[in-house]
Structure 1
């Protein structure tokens, strides 16, 4: 399907990043996986796909550090032209009342969610424009649709900022053959939600028509579609993957 096209995945060690990577890999893509401190899931992916290891490159990078992105990514793109970029990053979720938050909590979300995406994309865009082709996907949350959840203001505002940037860029870049879309899952059963109360998870599970929390493997097929030529005329969309729990 992808005939050797190379995809950069930020949050490459995350559950969502790995699930998407596996599907892309199985369909002929080459991967560049970005990670910060932990790479245990990446190592498992490499072990499971020994025959495809040559198609996987990794890069340790702190996406909160703008100067590090500007230092490392240009060399990477020069060696490995990028056709697709999937931004799947998040800080661990926690619940805080608005009065317990500081502006720094919001700033950290902006820096990771939005600034790192913007900085990475600027380094990748020349390669995509030269190819007259590009697929960009941001991973959001159903919290940006309708009423947001309580006590997660910093996380939700960070995702809203990324949604706004995704939509504005979609209008600007489609003339270069570059599509930009978002995927919004509901709360997922991943390490990022392990600090949330179990009672809350049970309530959210009961509210989902499927009777369970979403899983990373629910997201991957949608990302596969949006990464393929089948979606060439789809841009600026935010696709909800939530078993009908959230509709708009």
Structure 2
């Protein structure tokens, strides 16, 4: 029970990595406040977590709207009186070339992947500062590190900005004992990856030294470590979880 009685806010919890993080945190004693845009999936996860005995709040909302962050965090405070952990997981990808990409698609990806992180961080930080402790975990991507043939420029740009935001917040919040870190997943077996054709999957695997795709639980395990007391002296880092595809 590495997170016993901790209160965790998780965005983008309705599928893949976010869903697995919510389940893992709940199994380790955390009280979960989660949000997503798919109400049916969110409700199913709420029932799953609640049936296992964990306290949970599920709120539909779009992270592109600052009001969503304010409402979700306020509900966490109303119900649990604190926020110990924030996982900024909500994100979208869009596949097109620079010239074919619609400007509205660029804005949608930036608004979701970057601005959503800022809104939720700004919403929790006053409470974490008052508590003199807190953990923020931003989910990035290997697309932040190099050009990527399977993503629009908006995706890599948004994730590179998330990496900088992680470092900036870590430095700014260090005096308040708030640590801010990121996770940089490589190819993970999610619904998005299941859309790949066999030829592209084989091409991706040739670049992974461990010769397999990751699983959501690989990311959730690292997210558990960063949320726990075991990582108290780590801040400003974005950890690669990609089977050795990128090594710092």
TM-score relative to the length of structure 1: 0.90
User: Which residue in 2 is equivalent to 1:66?
Assistant: 66
Answer yes or no: is the 8 Å Cα contact 2:10–2:35 preserved in 1. yes
User: What whole-Å deviation, never above 9, does each CA across 1:78-99 have from its counterpart, x for those lacking one?
Assistant: 33321000011122x4431111
User: Which residue in 2 is equivalent to 1:204?
Assistant: 204
Alignment of 1:37-186 (within 5 A): 37-40=38-41, 43-44=44-45, 46-47=47-48, 50-53=51-54, 55-80=55-80, 81-91=82-92, 93-145=93-145, 147-150=146-149, 152=151, 153-186=153-186
Aligned residue for 1:24, secondary structure, equals helix
Aligned residue for 1:63, secondary structure, equals coil
Deviation for aligned residue 1:41:
6.2
Answer yes or no: is the 8 Å Cα contact 1:18–1:45 preserved in 2. no
Deviation for aligned residue 1:202:
2.1
Closer/same/farther in 2, CA of residues 48 and 31 from structure 1, 3 Å limit: closer
Worse-superposed segment, 174-183 or 192-201: 192-201
2:52 and 2:99 map into 1 onto residues whose CA distance is 52
Closer/same/farther in 2, CA of residues 123 and 95 from structure 1, 3 Å limit: closer
Deviation for aligned residue 1:65:
2.1
* RMSD (Å) for aligned C-alpha atoms: 2.0
Worse-superposed segment, 183-192 or 72-81: 72-81
Answer yes or no: is the 8 Å Cα contact 1:98–1:151 preserved in 2. no
Give structure 1 stretches of 5+ with no counterpart: none
Answer yes or no: is the 8 Å Cα contact 1:12–1:42 preserved in 2. no
Deviation for aligned residue 1:247:
0.9
Aligned residue for 1:100, secondary structure, equals coil
2:154 and 2:140 map into 1 onto residues whose CA distance is 14
TM-score relative to the length of structure 2: 0.90
The alignment of Structure 1 onto Structure 2 pairs a total of residues equal to: 245
User: Which residue in 1 is equivalent to 2:225?
Assistant: 225
Answer yes or no: is the 8 Å Cα contact 2:64–2:112 preserved in 1. yes
2:118 and 2:185 map into 1 onto residues whose CA distance is 22
1:76 and 1:27 map into 2 onto residues whose CA distance is 18
Answer yes or no: is the 8 Å Cα contact 1:95–1:196 preserved in 2. no
Deviation for aligned residue 1:239:
0.2
User: Which residue in 2 is equivalent to 1:6?
Assistant: 7
Aligned residue for 1:207, secondary structure, equals coil
2:167 and 2:183 map into 1 onto residues whose CA distance is 12
Deviation for aligned residue 1:44:
4.6
Closer/same/farther in 2, CA of residues 71 and 82 from structure 1, 3 Å limit: closer
